[in-house]
Amino acid sequence: MAATQFTHEQLDAYWMPFTANRQFKADPRMVVAAEGVHLIDHTGRRVLDGVSGLWCCGAGHNRPEIVAAVQTQLKTLDYAPAFQFGHPGAFELANRIRSIVPGALDYVFFANSGSECVETALKMARAYWRLRGQPGKTRLIGRARGYHGVNFGGLAVGGIANNRKLFGQSVESDHLSHTLLPQNTFCRGLPQQGRHLAEQLNELIALHDASTIAAVIVEPVVGSGGVIPPPVGYLQQLRQICSANDILLIFDEVISGLGRCGALTAAERFDVQPDILTLAKQLTNGAVPMGAVVASRDIYQTFMDAGGADYQLEFPHGYTYSGHPVASAAALAALEILVTEALPQRVVAMSPHFEEALHQLRGSPHVVDIRNYGFAGALHLAPCPGEPARRPFDVALRMWEKGFYVRCGADTIQLGLPFVMATAQIDSLLAALGETLVELA
């Protein structure tokens, strides 16, 4: 392709995901390389990456350790059949993941994306109750503004109307309210108000009866729905209600896991134990697609005990690329970096600075709320009349022109800083954001 110009023929065939295709093809933003905390575009410009790719490259782009691990793996074993055969890397990685997640989350099932993790977790939950002799427990409960990927189960429990409305009927589900309360606007970190919202689960139990409910799924800190940290005590309260009613609690940690919240998992950070936990994105530092669903010992044992003769499948589910050798090698290298460089601890140390700089934007044009936790933050912008997504889109485009990448999602601008970002880079990103809001006022 030419360095700076793309023709209609070059751009036409690719139907881009979650992208305004017509706008992009009229004004392409092509990323051709990356280095550390920068993306490099087709004109050679260095753009500061304020979202870690898509919340996945926390250790910085193109880490040589991951490159080397992938190269070595590709030369040794490119692929091994995932069904009825194994390779050592996937077992090593499962043990590694077991060692970094809290409590009795001991069994790791591999997928290739966050969406696949969610489908896997939801199927696991339904099957678990069937195997335990309660086949009526099938209903799944999510939460408004929650994002659990784009497949039918994840869409059903997801709470972003725009992602759902085109696609018709999906899986039996219901939703808790989101936890955004007017009294919590501009609060820093976890809001003090809102624990009571977890009590809505009791109302859904009263409505549907616990005998019909398999699981509740939430992101401990909502990510792409606009960075919504949980109210103090809220997750504990959900855990308590789930336990009291024999309902599984699933934490979708595709964004909150592996460093972003200042710990290896949000479950650890908030000291709340889910029954199933999903990881993806940061698992390979974005280098190779991979996801992991980590289940409790009780869930795994239930499947094994009900498995029948030893040649029979205990869980008829999986993907051609589950535990792929190259992804496993990338993940082992990425986890090594995360742990040896103490990146979650760095997030804890640096997040007060990020918080302070982000909240300096209070009072900027159209900013109606600011939220943050760890290295995730969002500006909530007042909608243009009838066009709620217009303003964040314009802000993100203008930022790109200035050499900064931020994410727009519905009525928010979202930041997911690389864990290795320097203080001066954080400051320049937020200064540019402040300027942009003024320019576009």
Ligand X SMILES: Cc1ncc(COP(=O)(O)O)c(C=O)c1O
Q: Which residue ranges make up the site for ligand X (CB under 6 A)?
A: 113-115, 118, 147-149, 219, 223-224, 252, 254-255, 280
Could you tell me the smallest distance in angstroms from the CB atom of residue 195 to ligand X? 22
Q: Which is nearer to ligand X, 201 or 254 (CB)?
A: 254
Tell me how crowded residue 99 is: count the other CB atoms within 10 A of its CB. 11
Q: Which is nearer to ligand X, 66 or 254 (CB)?
A: 254
Q: Which is nearer to ligand X, 37 or 118 (CB)?
A: 118
Count how many residues are written for the chain.
441
Could you tell me the smallest distance in angstroms from the CB atom of residue 327 to ligand X? 13
Phi/psi at 61 (nearest 5 deg)? Answer: -75, 155
Strand order across the beta sheet in which 213-218 lies: 105-111, 291-296, 276-279, 248-252, 213-218, 139-143, 173-176
Helix (H, G, I), strand (E, B) or coil at 153: helix
Helix (H, G, I), strand (E, B) or coil at 15: coil
Tell me how crowded residue 40 is: count the other CB atoms within 10 A of its CB. 15
Could you tell me the smallest distance in angstroms from the CB atom of residue 275 to ligand X? 17
Could you tell me the smallest distance in angstroms from the CB atom of residue 243 to ligand X? 23
Cα-only R_g, the chain: 22
Q: Which is nearer to ligand X, 149 or 344 (CB)?
A: 149
Q: Which is nearer to ligand X, 263 or 432 (CB)?
A: 263
Q: Which is nearer to ligand X, 255 or 267 (CB)?
A: 255
Pseudo-torsion of CA 274, 280, 283, 286, nearest 10°? Answer: -160
User: What letter represents residue 58's amino acid?
Assistant: G
Q: How far is CA 344 from CA 229, 272, 351, in A?
A: 17, 18, 10
Could you tell me the smallest distance in angstroms from the CB atom of residue 54 to ligand X? 7
CB-based closest residue to ligand X: 114
Contact yes or no for 37/426 (Cβ under 8 A): no
Could you tell me the smallest distance in angstroms from the CB atom of residue 271 to ligand X? 20
Burial (CB count <10 Å: 0-12, 13-18, 19+), residue 298: middle
Q: Which is nearer to ligand X, 26 or 161 (CB)?
A: 161
- The structure tokens 């909240």 sit at 359
**Strands, E, within 8-118: which ranges?**
31-35, 38-41, 46-49, 105-111
Q: Which is nearer to ligand X, 279 or 357 (CB)?
A: 279
Tell me how crowded residue 405 is: count the other CB atoms within 10 A of its CB. 21
Could you tell me the smallest distance in angstroms from the CB atom of residue 234 to ligand X? 17
Helix (H) or strand (E) holding 250: strand 248-252
Could you tell me the smallest distance in angstroms from the CB atom of residue 133 to ligand X? 30
